Every structure is written in structure tokens, then in C-alpha cells.
Structure 1
Amino acid sequence: MNHPGRRLAAVFFDLDGTLADTAGDFIPVVQTLRAEAGLAPLPPERIRASVSNGARGLVTLALGLGEDDDGFERWRQRLLTLYGGLLGTHATVFPGLRELIAQLDSAGIAWGIATNKPRAYTAPLLERLAIDPPPASVVCPEDVRERKPHPESLERNCREAGCSPAQAIYVGDHRRDIEAGQRAGLYTVAAAYGYIEPGDDPARWGADGLVSNSEALAAQLLPPLEDTVEGLS
């Protein structure tokens, strides 16, 4: 990853599939939805790959419905109700990222989250995950006019963390994350360990960097913390 030498001030993460492994909460929800519709279960890994597409994407996956189809909104609300009952039950922070965040804090570097997950679900999830120190900035769809891939979420992250986009890194597991980061002027890292749809290739998203697992992300971000973001590879 070639990046101009500049002082690193903040690292921002997408939430589902990048910072937190939340698929364990969504898999039973999708299976329940299918059972209620009289359908057979899906392979769990197929559901896992689609978690980053949010509630609408999961309803489409579960039932084959488009957003304009009759009943779509009713099923979406049912999915959200089921998810609310399981929220955070099986979710974990990806390996190495708690340690990374502690290291960021020790180096005086802020961290935060830019997510398309509504705050009603983001806030209790973060409470259950209990990451220490807490994020300096959490931007949810309710906080902006336009959600990712629009850059507004990350622009707000930077304001709240007190840094310029040129001093920040954004890590995400979806093409929309990389687009949002690039449009906002941040250095972008594609998390290939996240929830990647079949046939999608994170290497083609145009990110500045690519990591295959969360431990690799921590290993690549930690060395330059005392100097700059230069030297990521």
C-alpha cells in the first residue's frame, strides 16, 4: 500500500463484517424467516456472505423478494424484530482488533465507526461488545443526509475526531465502504475477511490496501503508529 507520508490521526471502521463479526446473529434470523415462509434453510455461509447488504438485502436473499414486491416491507420489519431479539447475542469483535484499538489509543490516535446500521441497533450492539476505549465517533444513517457510499459519514467522523481526511484510514468489507472513503479523501483498506458476496472480489474495489484477515489488519496498522501511515504494505 503506497501512501504519502502523513501523521496518522484516526482509524475508522465499518461495523458489520469489518470491526464486528455479527453473522451469528443474522443467520438464525434468516433461517427463521425462511421457515415462516415455508422454505428450506439456506447454507449458513451463504447468509454470512450477505450480512453487509443489510436488512433489505437479507430479505431478498431469504425470500427472493425485490423491494417493490408485495409483502417486502412486512418481511423486512419481521426480520428487524427477530434481529432485535438476538442483537449482540453471538457477535464478537474480530480477532486482533481490540488489541489494535488499545494500541491506537496508547499512540494518541482516535478510532471510530461509520456504518449504515441504524443507531437503534448500533448503540446496543456496541454496548454489548464493550470495546475499550470507546469510539471517538460513531456515525449512523440518522446522523447524515446521505448514507454510504456517499462520503458524508466519513466527513462527519473526521470532524468529530478532530482530524483531516488526509490523516485518516477507513477499513470496510464492501465496495460502498471503499467508495465512501475515497470520495471523502481517506486512505482505504478493503477487509477481505468480511462478508463478501459470491463472485465479488475485494481486490477489484480499488482500495489503497487489502487485508485477508483481521490479524493482518492489526499487524499492518501497528508498525507505523508512532510515525505516519507511510509504510503500510
Structure 2
Amino acid sequence: MSITAILFDFDGTLADTAPDLAGAANLQRTKRNLPALAYEQLRPVASQGARGLLRVALGLATDDPAYPEARDAFLQDYAATKDQQSRLFPGVLELLAQIESAGMQWGIVTNKVAWLAEPLIASLELNAGVVVCGDTTPHAKPHPEPLLHAARMLDKAPDACIYVGDDLRDVLAGKAAGMPTVAAAWGYCGEDQPVTEWAADRIADDPQGVWAAIQSLVAER
């Protein structure tokens, strides 16, 4: 089956949202009279949202009794500043134009909840064919259901879609959904396992590299 749709993660893949996410995380430290962390400490976990940022900023695991209150405060603060510094990565618009010119559809599958993701996607003027958020289905990535839901919404078979993301869980979700995967090495990429060890079908160093990866994967069909 040929490739006819490209699905993207959002934070760290299409959009550089880490500055606003890191700012909201550091605000939680400020409220506790703690010094701000360097941006470089927070950027790698930006794709992990509150879970990763609060672990680094405050040392809170998701099972910590203090986590729910800290998460809610972080999300409210982030909501107020989410579009101050967030921008599309250079080359993203050109990549999306190439995809559309090739007659392919594209969409977004993110773990960001809809009330945060949808306004930001709109403010960046991204006209995705489908947007699946972290609360669209009962599951979040690395579960395959969000990707499978996006494929259904586009009326595509899973193996007719490629999934592009900057976190290991994106590759795991794509593989579980039966989709070829492209690791976005320009993104945040986590703290632990190198991108080269994710077993993605392709690795792209920048958005233009995704187009080369798409062409390569199409040629294999």
C-alpha cells in the first residue's frame, strides 16, 4: 500500500513550544522561592509536558501526593503564556507544502490536551486534516489508539500513514499502530536514550530531512 498521509507530533516536531513550557515550569520554582533552572535543563523534557517538566523542575513524580496540585498550577500558568514565544520550526511550512503538493494529507497527533493544543495550533495557522489530542481518545501515546484514531478520521489504513515525532514514545506508538516512523532529531528528544537507538524507520535532522525520509519510505512500497 502506498503512503498517502503524514501524521506529526506537535511539541518539538512541528512547533518549538519549549520556551513557553520552560517558563511555566520555572514559574512553579519561583512560587516556591527556588532559583530558575537553565533553559537547557528543561528543553529535553518539553515533549513530556507536565510529567517531565515537573519532574525536572520540582523533583515530582506523577505518583507524588503533591503532583496533582502542582500539575494543575503549571497548566493554568502555561495556558496564560502558551503562545508568547512558541513558533513553528524553520522549514515546517515548506515541508507541509511539499506534502500537500504531492497529494498527501497530513495531521497532528499530540498528547497535549485539547484545551491547550487546539488554540495554539490555530494561532500558528496550521490547517491539519485531523487533530488528535491527548484527551481525544481514552489513551495517550505510546498507546497506538490516538494514531489509529487519526488514520480512521482520514479514512486511511494505518500502514498508509507515516508518523513523525521527537520522543521515543512517538516511535513506540507508531510501531504499535503499524505505521512507518520518522524520528525528528531536531526536537527535544528526551534525556536518556539517543535517537539512533529508538529503532525508527528513518531519522531526520531537520524538517526538510523529513521530506527525504518520506520519499525513501514511499520508494520502498
Within 2, Cα distance between the matches of 1:184 and 1:220?
Answer: 19
Within 2, Cα distance between the matches of 1:158 and 1:110?
Answer: 10
The reply on whether 1:81 has 2:91 as its aligned counterpart is no
RMSD of aligned Cα (Å): 1.7
Distance apart, 1:219 and its partner CA? 4.2
Within 2, Cα distance between the matches of 1:145 and 1:31?
Answer: 30
1:14-163 equivalence runs, <5 A: 14-131=9-126, 134-163=127-156
Aligned to 1:185: 178
Alignment check: 8 A CA contact 2:95 2:208 kept: no
What TM-score do the two structures reach when normalised by structure 1?
Answer: 0.89
Within 1, Cα distance between the matches of 2:62 and 2:148?
Answer: 29
SS in 1 for 2:218: coil
Distance apart, 1:107 and its partner CA? 2.1
Distance apart, 1:71 and its partner CA? 2.2
Alignment check: 8 A CA contact 2:19 2:39 kept: no
Within 2, Cα distance between the matches of 1:61 and 1:79?
Answer: 13
The reply on whether 1:175 has 2:188 as its aligned counterpart is no
Aligned to 1:3: none
Q: Identity percentage over the alignment?
A: 38
Q: Which amino acid aligns with 1:106?
A: S
Q: Which amino acid aligns with 1:156?
A: H
Aligned to 2:219: 230
The number of residue pairs the alignment matches comes to 221
Aligned to 2:189: 196
What TM-score do the two structures reach when normalised by structure 2?
Answer: 0.93
Which structure 2 residue ranges, 5 or more long, are not aligned? none
4+ residue stretches of structure 1 with deviation over 6 A? none
Aligned to 1:205: 198
Alignment check: 8 A CA contact 1:96 1:218 kept: no
Deviates further, 61-70 or 149-158: 61-70
Distance apart, 1:167 and its partner CA? 1.3
Within 2, Cα distance between the matches of 1:119 and 1:43?
Answer: 28
Which structure 1 residue ranges, 5 or more long, are not aligned? 1-5
> Which has the higher relative contact order, 1 or 2, with Cα contacts under 8 A spaced 6 or more apart?
1
Q: Which amino acid aligns with 1:52?
A: S
Within 2, Cα distance between the matches of 1:149 and 1:68?
Answer: 19
